[in-house]
A and B are shown apart, each in its own frame.
Chain A
Amino acid sequence: MNKINHEQLLSLEHPFIPVEKFRSSLRVSQKHIEKEIATLTSTVSEISKKSVQGSMDPKQVEVALEAIVTRLSTLKRKLKDTRAEETLYSQRTKVRLQHLQEFTAIPTLDSDDFARWSRVRLNRILIDYMLRDGFRETATLLAKSEHIEDLVDIELFVQSAKVEQALMRQSCAECLQWCKENNSNLKKIKSTLEFSLREQEFIELARERRSQEAIAYAKKHLTPWKDTHLKEISHVMGLLAFPPETKCHPYKRLYDKSRWNDLISQFRSNNFALQFFTPEPLLNVTLQAGLSALKTPMCYQADHRNINCPVCDPDTLGALATDLPLSHHFNSSIVCRISGQIMNEDNLPMALPNGYVYSYNALAEIASVNNGKITCPRTGAIYDITQVKKVFIS
Chain B
Amino acid sequence: MESFIKDYDKIIKKQRTLETNDPLDRLIAVVNEAKEKIRADPSSVTSSLAVLGKSIRTVSNGISEEQKEIQSSLSKYSKAIDKKFTADMMAAINPHAFDNKENILRSTIAMHFIRQGNFEIGDTFAKEAGLTVPDSMRHQFMEMFDIVAALKEDNLEPALQWATRHRSGLEKRSSTLEFKLHRQRYMQLLMGRQVQEAIAYARKNFAYFGTRHTQEIFRLMCSIIYMDHIKSSPYADLIATNTNADIQHMFTRDFCSLIGLSCDSPLYVSVTVGTQAMPTMIKMASIMKAKKTEWSQQQELPVEINLTDDTKFHSIFACPVSKEQATEENPPMMMGCGHVICKESLQKLCRGSSNLRFKCPYCPQESMASQAKNVYF
Q: Is B146 on the interface with A (CB-CB < 8 A)?
A: no
Report the nearest A residue to B14, measured CB to CB: A26
Residues on the A chain within 8 Å of B363, using CB: 392
Q: Would you call A58 and B2 a contact (CB within 8 A)?
A: no
Residues of chain B lying within 8 A (CB to CB) of residue A142: 118, 121
> Is B161 in contact with chain A by the CB < 8 A criterion?
no
Report the Cα distance A276→B306, complex, angstroms: 28
Range of interface residues on A (Cβ < 8 Å): 35 or more
Complex CA–CA separation, A142 to B277 (angstroms): 26
A31 to B11, CA, bound (A): 17
Who on chain A is nearest to B278 by CB? A289
Q: How far is the CA of A237 from the CA of B125 in the complex (A)?
A: 47
- Give the complex CA separation of A328 and B324 in angstroms: 10
Interface flag for A356 (CB, 8 Å): yes
Given A130-B125, A287-B270: A357 in contact with B313 (beta carbons within 8 A) = no
Given contact pairs A37-B56, A356-B376, A357-B376, A52 touches B279 in the complex (Cβ within 8 A)? no
B314 contacts A309, C-beta separation under 8 Å: yes
Contacts of B327 in A (CB 8 A): 297
Contact yes or no, A17 B85, CB < 8 A:
yes
Q: Does A137 contact B (CB under 8 A)?
A: yes
Q: Given the known A-B contacts A14-B86, A289-B281, A294-B270, are A101 and B2 also in contact in the complex, defined by CB atoms under 8 Å?
A: yes
Least distance between B130 CB and chain A CB atoms (Å): 10
Contact with B along A229-263 (1 / 0, CB 8 A): 00000000000000000000000000000000000
Let me know if B275 is at the binding interface, CB within 8 A. Answer: yes
Asked if A75 is at the interface (CB within 8 A of a chain B CB), the reply is: yes
Measured CB to CB, the closest approach of chain A to B66, in angstroms, equals 10
Tell me, rounded to whole Å, the shortest Cβ–Cβ distance linking A59 to chain B.
7
Residue of B nearest to A59 (CB): B42
Beyond A45-B53, A330-B304, A335-B314, list 16 extra A-B contacts (CB 8 Å): A12-B87, A14-B86, A48-B49, A58-B38, A76-B24, A110-B310, A282-B89, A286-B278, A289-B273, A292-B305, A309-B314, A329-B316, A330-B323, A332-B315, A334-B317, A389-B338
**Which B residues are within 8 Å of any A CB, using their own CB?**
1-2, 4-5, 8, 11-12, 15, 22-25, 27-28, 31-32, 34-35, 38-39, 42-43, 45-46, 49-50, 52-53, 56-57, 60, 63-64, 67, 70-71, 74-75, 77-78, 81-82, 84-87, 89-90, 92-98, 101, 104-105, 107-109, 111, 118, 120-121, 124-125, 128-129, 174, 211-212, 257, 260-264, 266-279, 281, 295-296, 298-318, 320, 323, 325, 327, 334, 337-340, 362-363, 373-377
**Can you list the 6 inter-chain pairs with the closest CB atoms, starting with the nearest?**
A290-B274, A309-B313, A14-B85, A310-B266, A58-B42, A8-B279
Question: 16 A–B contact pairs at CB < 8 A?
Answer: A9-B279, A11-B85, A12-B279, A41-B56, A65-B38, A68-B31, A93-B8, A145-B118, A278-B90, A280-B95, A283-B105, A289-B275, A316-B104, A316-B108, A335-B314, A356-B375
